[in-house]
Amino acid sequence: MKNRRSKISDSVHVKEVLSSIIRNCRKESNTELSEIRRTWNAELDKTITDHAQPTAIKGSALLVTVKSSTLTQQLRFLTNDIIHIINRKAGNYQISELKIKTGNF
């Protein structure tokens, strides 16, 4: 019996597909987080923003998800500068703490 499945050379892991779909479908209802993300992407270096993004606000703490542990360490050194940048640009909302976790966003 002949194999009817076509062979696809550019296969993609299902995790990447689902992450992309969820990210595109998720509506941002949290306007403070949206504003902080815009500031984050505009003010920080592209090497950081490509691999680290704000994912939640809990009280006055900003949760940032980072793709690698080495970048986590770099962000820890830049924490005070990042908080200052966000607070200066974010308007009414003030961040006092940056919580960094490794994962996917």
How many domains is the chain partitioned into structurally? 1
Q: How far is CA 81 from each of CA 43, 70, 88, rounded to the nearest angstrom? A: 11, 18, 11
Contact 74/22 with Cβ under 8 angstroms?
A: no
Does 17 fall in a domain?
Answer: no
The pLDDT score that the predictor gives to residue 7 is 58
Contact 31/91 with Cβ under 8 angstroms?
A: no
The label of the residue with tokens 């990042």 reads: 82
Band the pLDDT of 5: cuts 50, 70, 90.
Answer: low
Over residues 25-42, the pLDDT tens digits come to 655 456 889 889 999 999
Does 16 fall in a domain?
Answer: no
Task: Return the higher-pLDDT residue of 30 and 49.
Answer: 49
Over residues 59-93, the pLDDT tens digits come to 899 999 999 988 999 999 999 999 999 999 876 77
Does 24 fall in a domain?
Answer: no
The label of the residue with tokens 């950081």 reads: 48
Does 90 fall in a domain?
Answer: yes
The pLDDT score that the predictor gives to residue 9 is 60
* CATH number (domain holding residue 60): 3.30.300.180
